[in-house]
Structure 1
Amino acid sequence: MQAVATFLGGRPGERLCRVLQLPTGRTHLLGLLTAPVVPERAPRVLGVDEFAFRKGWRYGTVLVDIEAARVVDVLPDRDAASFATWLREHPGAEIICRDRASAYSSAVREAVPDAQEVADRWHLLHNLSSAVEKTCHQHRSCLRKQAEADRDAEPRRIINPLPPPMLPPTKIAVRTVDRYSDIHRLLGQGHSVSEIARRLHLDRKTVRRFRDTDLDELLASARHGRPKGVLEPFTAYLTERFTDGVTSPTDLFQHERGYQGSDLPVRRYVAGLRTGTVEPARGAIPSPRKITTWIMLPRGTVKLREEEQLLNVRLTCPDIARACDLAWTFHDLLQQRRGHQLLTRIREAERDAPAPILSFAQGLCLDLDAVTAGLTLPWSSGIVEGHVNRIKTIKRAMYGRASLRLLRTRILLRS
């Protein structure tokens, strides 16, 4: 019965016991569970990570013995003070594997300053991937200009040219024009971005976007009817075929190009092209997420066609090419465990790296010892992440009804 309660919990365990003809109730089953005693000394290699009781609201901390691959303890929060107190009460940790969170790092420096901190390699790659994707977003205009230039250079007979798209009288379009004029009027009067944001009750990022973006581009994003979801990758092809004279939605839908949706989005998009109420898709370019995927995948695993597209992107935008080279260099450092070369590569990146990559490199300098250890030592937080996934399974099976004490008991008993 104790094993049933450990692996299934109260109500599911009661149902199983009923089938096995073991007379018991959920309260009795849960009363059989007792949390094991936490060892007085911490494991030599300790892993620490957060998990969510309720995502975005409340978090806890799980402590894992990396060498034994089992959970040592569960803390009710993710505060640095709680973790530091636990480290003082349970001495003995020599290596501590963690993510890039500053709370755990400050707790380690306060409680066990002699311990070796190891930054997790997956989180390093994730941070690098985010920096590469930001670079691709910032230089998307370079790719757009090149794609439009290539499209305009192709000789093509226009049978049914598109009518000039007229701005539909939508509320969001009118609001965009009014907001653009208000922001630029206040900028002309010498007001700062923060002051404009307070006056107009806007976020400062919104004010900067209206300051740095042309009105035509803002209006283009305000047009209604812009296709989303499964149709979006095919809008450039549909626009080109419509321009060539193929205006029947049925003919466009029946053309096999990998589209998995229904014909209704195609009919709506073609109707919008006829009336000019949707923005015609411009030159097809790969999305920043897709370019980032090509860059971050191990070399040799990318398909030949995707390698050609990535080469075109690199030739079009030098900043994306530089971000790609730096990402590959960092990936080689991680794969070959050449942490001793990290500082040299950071200095090289500081000379000519795009802004997001530069910010990533400077962030590594703030946590240099732990990052160097993560690129050198064999330890990582992979086992901890596996336990976090298992905690999610246990937590969701309890449907939020149980207390922290019961959740902690089941986590420790199943580790």
Structure 2
Amino acid sequence: MTDLHFLPGCRIEEITRPDANSLHICAEARRRSGRCPDCGEPSDAVHSRTVRHPADLPCLGREVRLELWLRRLYCRNPACSRRTFVERLPGLIAPRAQRTDRLATAHGRVGVFLGGEAGARMLTQIGMPTSGDTVLRLVRRLPLPRRPAPQVLGVDDWARRKGRTYGTILVDLERHRVVDVLPDRSAATLADWLRGHRGIRTIARDRSTEYARGIGLGAPQAVQVADRWHLLLNLRQMVERWLAGVHGRLRRLPPTVGQPAGPARRTGAFPRSQGERVASADSRERKKALYEEVRRRHAASEPLLTISQRMRLARGTVRKYAQAESFPERAVQAPAHSILDPYLAHLEARLAAGCENARALWRELRDIGFPGTSMQVRRWLGQRRSAPAKTTPRRYREAQPAPVPPDAHAGAPALPSPRQLALYLTRPRDGLTNEERSAIGRLERDPDAAAVAVLVRRFADLVRGSCIGGNAVVRAPIATFKRWLIDAQNSSVSAVATFAAGLQQDAAAVKAALTTPWSSGQTEGQVNKLKLLKRQTFGRAKFDLLRRRVLLAA
């Protein structure tokens, strides 16, 4: 049993089992002498004996409680104020501690990954019971790891309270570990940290001008690298904002023809009820009134931020309304894939044969494997009947058919929303479906949209094709970027020219992104890990505890 439960500096005298889930180990210290904790004078003169009852790591799945008999020794140094002292057991237990050092370390490590209350619940199940407050106290006692100074750093922000307060996370991109966590995302805080950590030669960041200024102040010798994913994100956001402003004009474009037909599927949603149509119309009128008020204020040269504050609207909504050529109608979403789609050919054939009995059609579909109910067939058939069903109440026989969406064109699918169109334009063309290519072809019938699409695809292909390995210098992406920058700045679309002007201001970081392998990808992964630890504390942990947990878990 001594080998199963080793106690350094002690001899086990007796082991008992007070109950089925615990062990009681009686041990005696076996050191020849001890040293006075005040003066360090060795002594072996015994004054008396004392006993301590600390908890220890579990053994054989059972909770362990020690009974340690220690000697109280005389201090033989006449100049020392202490007359007696209890011998110490370094490496096993600290003075006046209620648990051994190894048990305290285990409690702290569990608290790092699970937090206080969750860690206490798990520790109770594995024979190391304690309270949540004790777990957090032991987490704060764990020493922070010492790591070599980073040379390639990743910088990103994280939300302490989303929309209110933010912090900064710093990651060593070469060793894939968190270096530090800062309490805010200001340039001054980042610059102060960088001044205390010399030797950093490369820093990957997002497009934040605050981080760019902080790096310039704290580490002017470091090469700043703009993150490629954020470049594509900013590109998509620019396209989405511009499309939102001209979407009303683009919806009137005719659809493309000659596209290969895809699998049979529903092209329109089921008709809405009268109450839903009334609620939708009321919502549209309210939004249109807000749109007209924003346009009036913007025409009077009122700043967008002031409009947002006075009208209590989100800044993005105010910007969208101010930049829109006409009222931005809600985009009609194409219906999602339905379990009825594989059976549409059979239904169309039976309808052409004159069968308008929904129940009979449903029984036929059920026999060939349709898993749905008759209600789905009835709703599909209700839009295609040549005459009302015999069971239709009289008050519904004269009801008007559901209105056709205003952006539908000869039964063609509606133009996708600005967000979807922006996604289609920034994706690789090889990964688009026939429907997505058809939507892009319809979009490119507008001259401005066609010019924007060409510039967007050129920049997206440039960013995606610039990811290289090693430290080789690639000159082709730089020349291509310069040509694209000139074309974008000369564009007739102001949104593209403004985006290009922003890239020109951050040109050094963008060029570094196109010619170096570094990015903020793994920094984003560390932010996700930090969010997990933050949510385990329900967002109520103090910053010092959260920072310690992040650094210890790295």
Q: TM-score, normalised by structure 1?
A: 0.73
Q: 1:48 aligns with which of 150, 155, 169?
A: 155
Cα deviation, 1:258-281, whole Å, max 9, x if unaligned, reads: xx9x97xx89x999x956997844
Deviation at 1:233, TM superposition (A): 11
Matched, 1:300 2:407: no
Counterpart amino acid of residue 485 in structure 2: I
Residue from 410, 418, 423 that aligns with 1:288: 418
Q: Deviations over 1:166-185 (max 9, x none)?
A: x989877887898899999x
Q: Secondary structure at the match of 1:194?
A: coil
- Determine helix, strand or coil for the equivalent of 1:6: helix
Greater Cα shift, 74-83 or 400-409: 400-409
Residue 370 of structure 1: aligned partner: 509
Name the counterpart of 1:340: 478
CA 1:95–1:213 in structure 2 vs 1: closer, same or farther (change >3 Å)? closer
Partner of 2:550: 411
Task: Structure 2: give runs of 5+ residues left out of the alignment.
Answer: 1-105, 258-276, 339-355, 366-371, 384-395, 409-413, 467-475
Contact kept, 8 Å, 2:169 with 2:178, in 1: the verdict is yes
Contact 2:294 2:321 in 1 (8 A): no
User: Is the partner of 1:60 in helix, strand or coil?
Assistant: strand
- Indicate how the Cα distance of structure 1 residues 194 and 274 shifts in structure 2: closer, same or farther if over 3 A, else same: farther
Secondary structure of the residue aligned to 1:139 is helix
The structure 2 residue matched to 1:325, chosen from 446, 451, 454, is 454
Q: Following the alignment from structure 2 to structure 1, what is the Cα–Cα distance between the partners of residues 325 and 552?
A: 57
Q: Note the C-alpha offset of 1:136.
A: 2.3
Of all paired residues, the percent bearing the same amino acid is 33
- Equivalent position SS for 1:326: helix
Aligned CA distance change for structure 1 residues 102 and 25 (closer, same or farther; 3 Å):
same
Q: 1:75 is matched with which residue?
A: 182
Is 1:44–1:95's contact at 8 Å kept on the other side of the alignment?
A: yes
Q: Which has the higher strand share?
A: 2
Q: How does 1:128-139 map to 2 (within 5 A)?
A: 128-139=235-246
**Does structure 2 retain, via aligned residues, the 8 Å contact 1:51–1:62?**
yes
Q: Distance in 1 between matches of 2:242 and 2:186?
A: 33
Give 1:311 deviation, angstroms.
Answer: 2.0
Partner of 2:541: 402
Higher helix residue share: 1
- Counterpart among 36, 47, 57 of residue 144 in structure 2: 36
Task: Pick which of 300-309 and 204-213 moved more.
Answer: 204-213
Aligned position for 2:123: 17
**Aligned equivalents of 1:5, 1:194: Cα separation in 2:** 53
Does the Cα contact within 8 Å between 1:147 and 1:285 map onto a contact in 2?
no
Alignment match, 1:5: 111
- 1:63 aligns with 170
Alpha carbons of 1:286 and 1:99: their partners in 2 closer, same or farther (altered >3 Å)? same
State the match for 1:361 in structure 2.
500
1-structure distance, mates of 2:282, 2:450? 40
Q: Is the 8 A contact 1:60 1:74 kept in 2?
A: yes
Change (3 A) 1:212 1:326: closer
Instruction: Tell me, in whole angstroms, the C-alpha distance in 1 between the residues paired with 2:511 and 2:463.
Output: 10
Unaligned runs of 5+ in 1: 151-166, 235-247
Q: What is the DSSP-based 3-state SS (H/G/I as helix, E as strand, rest coil) of the residue aligned with 1:47?
A: strand
Shift of 1:12: 1.0
Name the structure 2 match of 1:310: 440
Q: How much has 1:286 moved relative to structure 2?
A: 2.1
In 1, Cα distance between the equivalents of 2:236 and 2:323? Answer: 28
The one-character-per-residue Cα deviations of 1:43-86 (angstroms, maximum 9, x if unpaired) are 11011110001100111110110000000001111111111111
**Residue 117 of structure 1: how far off its partner (Å):** 0.4
Counterpart-to-counterpart distance in 1, 2:292 and 2:453: 39
Deviation per residue, 1:67-107 (Å, 9 max, x gap): 00000001111111111111111111110111011111101
Cα gap change, 1:103 to 1:174, in 2 (>3 Å)? closer
Q: 1:176 to 1:367 in 2, by over 3 A?
A: closer
Q: Is the 8 A contact 2:245 2:323 kept in 1?
A: no
Deviation at 1:385, TM superposition (A): 0.4
Letter aligned with residue 100 of structure 1:
R
Structure-1 separation of matches of 2:114 and 2:291:
58
**Number of residue pairs aligned between Structure 1 and Structure 2:** 369
Counterpart-to-counterpart distance in 2, 1:183 and 1:287: 22
* Aligned mates of 1:208, 1:22 — CA distance in 2: 58
Q: Give the match's secondary structure for 1:145.
A: coil
Deviation digits for residues 128-161 of structure 1, max 9, x if unmatched? 01112223223323432223999xxxxxxxxxxx
* 1:163 equivalent in structure 2: none
Greater relative CO (CA pairs within 8 A, separation 6+) = 1
User: Is 1:38–1:73's contact at 8 Å kept on the other side of the alignment?
Assistant: no
Q: Assess if the C-alpha contact under 8 Å between 1:83 and 1:104 holds in 2.
A: yes
- Residue 248 of structure 2 contacts residue 325 of structure 2 at CA under 8 Å; is this kept in 1? no
Map of 1:156 onto structure 2: none
8 Å CA contact retained: 2:187, 2:213: yes
The one-letter code sitting in structure 2 at the alignment partner of 1:340 is I
Structure 1 residue 35 displacement after superposition: 5.1
Aligned residue among 231, 246, 259 for 1:124: 231
3-state DSSP class of the match of 2:498? helix
